[in-house]
With several copies, the nearest count.
Chain A
Amino acid sequence: MANMAQAIRMALHYAEENLGVTDIFGEDVGAPLGGVFTCTQGLKTAWNSPLDERGIIGAAMGLAMAGARPVAEIQFCDYVYNTIDLLKLAGNTLWASNGQWNLPMVVMTPVGSGIRGSIYHSHSFDATMTHIPGWKTVMPSTPLDAYGLMLSACKEQNPVMFLIPKALMRVRGEELIPGEPGDDKQLSKLIDAPLGDRSKWTPQWPELADAAIPLGKAKVVREGRQLTVVSYGRTLPLAKKAADTLAGEGLDAEVIDLRTLWPYDWEAIVASVKKTGRVLFLNEDTEVTNFGEHLARRVTEKLFYHLLAPPKVLAGKFVPGIGLADTLEAASVPQQGDVEQAMRALAVMQP
């Protein structure tokens, strides 16, 4: 099955052909590299921009204003922070003009830890982004979701921030993308650029289908009765695996993949928490003024008298960076063991 980089590439190909995407651009996004994570290899509208994130976001805004459909990439979300004013502007332009100027644009950027990225290739962006009104923000945890969410992003009339968990970029999916050949090697041969000279290479795209996943819909990845984990991105598979492990200990946990961070699927959270009375919000952004805290606050305010234990937030430590050494990274962002431990602790908590 496709990995997430391939899934995004196929979605963008589909979007170029069928959804009117006109420009896929950013640093090293065009030939020959096709993106530092290969997400844009072989795409006909992909091009290399100057090394200037402000120009990238500004150009995307202008293109959207002129009726084009841009997908702009920030090479790592770690380098998006000199454009927050522009992101805010993109999010308020429709509102400020009282409904005149909507901006159909997608910004995609790899986020999070897990590839030994050290201080500047490990940042999370979900806390900062969910604080910016006017955007929709997604973060898939599987290739198929990445494919489906990217199609929806490219159909949107509003700006969409597409966060790609770096750690999951090379993980193969468990479900086929409609049109994708069953054999991984065959897929690679069709759409992965060769090493060495690529000047004569063109991809052979499979016949892909529209499998758009509506924005705002969570996915219950595992049903359970005793405890809910709400997560997304890199930490989602940790939660799933932990739930499987704890099932062996007699603890039945429900795992929800939020997939869209804003607007998020409140109904799915309510339904689950009403059932379990215990909820863990799990992500890897630093934990002060964190999006999980928003979710925890809302659950606490609205479902207080359904709760058997305080909602718990497990997130990244509030440190200035993720250090390169394994020991440092492991101590900074939730690992498999931390997730299991938090779930166990939450399950047994009693007044």
Chain B
Amino acid sequence: MARDAKKLKPVKEFKPITRSDELPLDAERLRFMHETMVKARCLEERLIAMYKSGHGYFWIGGPGEEAFNVPLGMLIKKGQGPAFDFCHFHYRQSATLLAMGEEPLGAIRQMKNTSTDPYSGGRNFAGHFSKKAWNIVPVSSPIEVQYSMVIGTAMAQKRLGGDAISIVTGGDAGTAEGDFATCLVWSSRPNEELPVLIIVTNNTWGISTPYDQVQGVERISDRGVPFGMRTKTIDGNDPISAYLELKEAFEYVRTERKPYLVEARVSRLYGHSSASGANFSTVEADCLSLFEERLDKHGVRAKAEAKRLREKYAEAYAELARQAKEEPFPDGATIWDHVYAGEPGKDPLAD
């Protein structure tokens, strides 16, 4: 018999669990969260300023996603190898790295494509992190391929046992690529389910194209349902809610060793990238301002203090940018380095 699809809950209807008056996290954690969000925002704004003043060719990053990306970073078990979490990120994840404890200078150097850029040595765009010591695999420009690679690291972790998991992030538009389905298929093989936290940050845009103009899935998290996996759509603009929701998801994946598909609704505060101007959007919710309102109201952190923090980091990162500007670009001859591991770089056709 034919089944008409049940009408799915529209994306906008999900209920954030902690818009209420109580703040269910301790003040210290809230302050850390807030300060890290401020750092992330200031860092991205510095990168944008660098782009606008000609110190970098292209900017892309995550301002507007801090309320989701900071809690994400707080929950990651960082370290090297399969006993630690693997991170398959896309290009909006600076706040997550800062929450994990990363220094901001690296992002600034990458923006300026200096040889000191710790992620790519001046080779790759801003926001394209890579840090082997923390299992942060290189961010790839091709959209969505990380959803195919994550199954490999998760397999190694499943086999090892323990509680380490693989985390993958990407955008809403990218879920139209086959790799998203690949991830769902491979992470839910019977008796071979994988410990993957599959995340989609839904900002309702793919560059200039509205999500609901080109995709008919109302809740992206529903894509996991036929695969028998646990799924949810959460509020990514509320750091407290995001933290608690992510915590539940992390715990499930760590202990059950099975996939969990989480869709987080987030804002895109400076447009897609520098290609679209990188100007502040006044129509999207700003998770940082909203959070500052609440912290102030609850006496966790006064507005003035929040403002001071913003100024402090803005100035600190301007200083780092000045420092990076003095650093050298990579030498042209280095293009031959690291073509192959364990071999000196050289032009194979020079003889």
Question: Is there direct touching of A and B in the complex, by C-beta distance under 8 Å?
Answer: yes
Give A contacts to B, CB under 8 Å.
22-23, 27-28, 30, 32-33, 36, 48-55, 57-68, 70, 78-79, 82, 85-86, 89, 93-102, 116, 118-121, 133-134, 136, 157-158, 263, 266, 287-288, 298, 302, 317-321, 323-328, 330-332
The interface bits of chain B over 86-113 (1 if a CB of A lies within 8 angstroms of the residue's CB, else 0) are 1000000000000000000000000001
Most chain A CB within 10 A, of B57, B329, B340, B348, is at B340
7 shortest interchain CB distances as A-B pairs: A62-B152, A58-B148, A331-B332, A120-B141, A98-B121, A66-B156, A102-B341
Indicate which residue in B81, B124, B148, B329 contacts A118 across the interface (CB closer than 8 Å).
B124
Contact B152 A321 (CB under 8 A): no
Indicate which residue in A61, A157, A263, A320 contacts B152 across the interface (CB closer than 8 Å).
A61
Chain B residues numbered 308-342 whose CB sits less than 8 Å from any CB in chain A = 329-342
Contact A134 B150 (CB under 8 A): no
Main secondary structure of the interface of B (DSSP, over half): loop
Contact B152 A60 (CB under 8 A): yes
Contact A50 B176 (CB under 8 A): yes
| Complex Cα gap A116–B51 (Å) | 13
Contact A100 B132 (CB under 8 A): yes
What are 26 pairs between A and B in contact, CB < 8 Å? A23-B155, A27-B207, A28-B206, A28-B208, A33-B208, A51-B143, A54-B179, A58-B179, A59-B152, A61-B148, A64-B152, A65-B86, A82-B178, A94-B341, A96-B123, A96-B124, A97-B119, A97-B130, A99-B337, A120-B125, A120-B140, A120-B142, A287-B349, A288-B348, A325-B113, A328-B122
Contact B338 A62 (CB under 8 A): no
The interface bits of chain B over 39-77 (1 if a CB of A lies within 8 angstroms of the residue's CB, else 0) are 000000000000000000110000000000000000000
| Complex Cα gap A323–B338 (Å) | 13
Most chain A CB within 10 A, of B114, B128, B152, B179, is at B152
Q: Tell yes or no: B269 within 8 A of A by CB.
A: no
Contact A324 B123 (CB under 8 A): yes
Q: Which residues of A contact B150 (CB under 8 A)?
A: 58, 62
Contact A58 B145 (CB under 8 A): yes
Contact A86 B148 (CB under 8 A): yes
| Complex Cα gap A66–B151 (Å) | 11
Stretch at the interface among B181-189, B231-239, B242-250, B293-301: B181-189
The interface bits of chain B over 177-217 (1 if a CB of A lies within 8 angstroms of the residue's CB, else 0) are 11100100110010000000000000000111100011100
Indicate which residue in A33, A53, A158, A324 contacts B341 across the interface (CB closer than 8 Å).
A158
Known A55-B185, A101-B130, A323-B330; contact A263-B348, beta-carbon cutoff 8 A? yes
Contact B82 A67 (CB under 8 A): yes
Name which residue of chain B comes closest to A320, CB basis.
B339
Contact A331 B148 (CB under 8 A): no
Most chain B CB within 10 A, of A33, A67, A98, is at A98
Known A55-B186, A94-B339; contact A101-B138, beta-carbon cutoff 8 A? yes
B193 to chain A, nearest CB (A): 13
| Complex Cα gap A23–B154 (Å) | 13
Q: Which residues of A contact B332 (CB under 8 A)?
A: 327-328, 330-331
Q: Which residues of A contact B159 (CB under 8 A)?
A: 22
Q: Tell yes or no: B23 within 8 A of A by CB.
A: no
Known A50-B176, A319-B339, A328-B335; contact A62-B149, beta-carbon cutoff 8 A? yes
